[in-house]
Structure 1
Amino acid sequence: MADTTYDELLGIIDEVAGRLAPGERLACLFGVMSPLLDRVEREDEELSDDPVLSTPDAVCELRRAAAGEPVDVDAVHEQLTEVGLCYSEDQDPERHLVSQSAYAAAAWLRLLAGRKLRTTAGLEGEDEDLVPPFAPSAFTRIVDLLAWTRSDQMYFHWEDAINCPEDCDLPAAIRELQAMHMEISCVSSQRYSCGSSSPAE
């Protein structure tokens, strides 16, 4: 595993996640994303004239959704994409990390809902990906963004990162991928140790 490349790791994670039931995949993904939500929740700046939710409230509702409670997923998604869009335009690297975290959370919420959700006015009418489109599945596209965000870096495509080592820390992103692989693999191992002999559909 130590010599596994970034894109190979994404493929391995995709295979492991594919052995989990949909609900387990979502729970795993929320678990590896959860440490980033605190930085989003701390942001209380008003980003629009008439927000339905504040950013801290949106994160609170996101956590409730992850716990299986009923929430207005459209309102939560709209506020998260608003944070992602507004903060992505800031030159402060810390705000970019907040943006990436918010976009990852919004993309997770889309997976939970299983449908297109209401988005901020700045993205309306655009079929814009909230997360980089390079990984093999919706699950690993979020994982790809998380690897860079969890290592406190602005996102780089892995091939660009190889060619521009002075601009980013690819080994740090790989370490985060490895950590997420271990977290997801533990859930997969527990499922089989409980007596399941084949992946759930």
Structure 2
Amino acid sequence: MTDATYSELLGAIDEFAGRLDPHEQVACLYGLIAPLLDRVEQEDEELSDEPVLSTPEAVRGIRKAAAGEPTDVDAVHEQLTEVGLCYSEDQDPERHVVSQSAYAAAAWLRLLAGRKLRTTRYLDGEDEGLIPPFAPSTFTQIVDLLAWTRSGQVYAHWDDALASPEWCDLPAATGELQAMHLKITV
């Protein structure tokens, strides 16, 4: 699939993921998200007046959850969505990438828990998801976000990126998507 378009790759990944059971999907996604967690863990800035966890504690919590150890997934999810929200409002593209990493990890945690989890109070009650809704399933929506995040870019819909190459590096995101496709399907 080296000459496949971005949307074709997403479709192939979605088709393959549809054959995996939920536990295999969660394990596969964690392997794609885990390298991004080190960068999120470095952020120790207080983001709210009454944090339940620090960001490094939340990252340690998600790692514990991935290992099957007991953890307060609601508290971890809440801190990750707080990081995602606060950093997404920053003009620095690097902080957007951290935001996207936190949102991808929070969405993964929802898949692991199999239920809605507590979010930052600013997102409570909103139907808006943590991840872009353009891919066909939650699995591929996370993969879509990861393609941009792993290539160090602020997320852009692939059609928008195609129309605005001066703002987005679609080939870099497609390259990441191809690498993830290989990792997922092998």
Whichever residue aligns with residue 53 of structure 1, its letter is: L
Matched, 1:80 2:76: no
* Cα distance in 2, alignment partners of residues 4 and 183 from structure 1: 16
Q: Show structure 2 runs of 5+ residues with no match.
A: none
Aligned-pair CA distance for 1:2: 2.1
Aligned-residue Cα RMSD (Å) equals: 0.7
Whichever residue aligns with residue 5 of structure 1, its letter is: T
SS at match of 2:148: helix
Matched, 1:166 2:169: no
* Cα distance in 2, alignment partners of residues 89 and 180 from structure 1: 28
Aligned-pair CA distance for 1:169: 0.5
Query: Alignment length, in residue pairs?
Result: 186
Aligned-pair CA distance for 1:114: 0.8
* Cα distance in 1, alignment partners of residues 126 and 32 from structure 2: 28
Deviations 1:142-199 (A, max 9, x none): 000000000000000000011001111000000100111111112xxxxxxxxxxxxx
Deviations 1:130-150 (A, max 9, x none): 000000100000000000000
Q: Name the structure 2 match of 1:152.
A: 152
Match runs of 1:2-151 below 5 Å: 2-151=2-151
Aligned-pair CA distance for 1:24: 1.0
Q: Show structure 1 runs of 5+ residues with no match.
A: 187-201
Moved more, 122-131 or 150-159: 122-131
Deviations 1:9-39 (A, max 9, x none): 0010011112222111100000011111111
Work out which of the two has the higher radius of gyration on C-alpha atoms and give 1 or 2: 1
Instruction: Return structure 1 stretches of 4+ with deviation > 6 angstroms.
Output: none
> TM-score, structure 2 length as denominator?
0.98
> TM-score, structure 1 length as denominator?
0.91
Whichever residue aligns with residue 4 of structure 1, its letter is: A
Aligned-pair CA distance for 1:50: 1.1
* Cα distance in 1, alignment partners of residues 7 and 44 from structure 2: 36
